[in-house]
Amino acid sequence: AKAVKAKMIDHISQEVYKKHPDLKGVKPQITPRKGDTSSDTLLIYSKSVSGPGGKKINRIVRAVADENGKIKKISTSK
């Protein structure tokens, strides 16, 4: 898998921030997709937020993008 360019990561991040404004400014952890021949890249945005009752919960958003920086899928964990 080719490395995703910084400019592309910025573009992908902007899309993620648009959908999830609370994650704005969070730098993604970038992982090439393993075990297949695709050149997709997985970006994981995670942030610790206060949940109900003041408990800390990790908010995680995963974005899968192709080699052109086009987002294929965004999924969240609550």
Q: State which residues form the domain around 57.
A: 6-77
Q: Is residue 1 part of a domain?
A: no
Rg for the chain (alpha carbons), in Å?
13
pLDDT at residue 35, rounded to an integer? 64
24 Cβ contact list (under 8 Å, min separation 6): 17
Asked whether the predicted pLDDT for residue 3 surpasses 60, the reply is no
pLDDT at residue 1, rounded to an integer? 42
15 Cβ contact list (under 8 Å, min separation 6): 63, 71, 74
pLDDT at residue 64, rounded to an integer? 94
pTM over 0.85: no
Asked whether the predicted pLDDT for residue 78 surpasses 70, the reply is no
Q: How many domains does the chain have?
A: 1
Q: Is residue 19 part of a domain?
A: yes
pLDDT in tens, 11-51: 999 999 999 999 999 999 998 766 666 788 999 999 998 88
Q: What is the DSSP letter of 21?
A: G
* Rounded distance between C-alpha atoms, residue 47 and residue 37, angstroms: 30
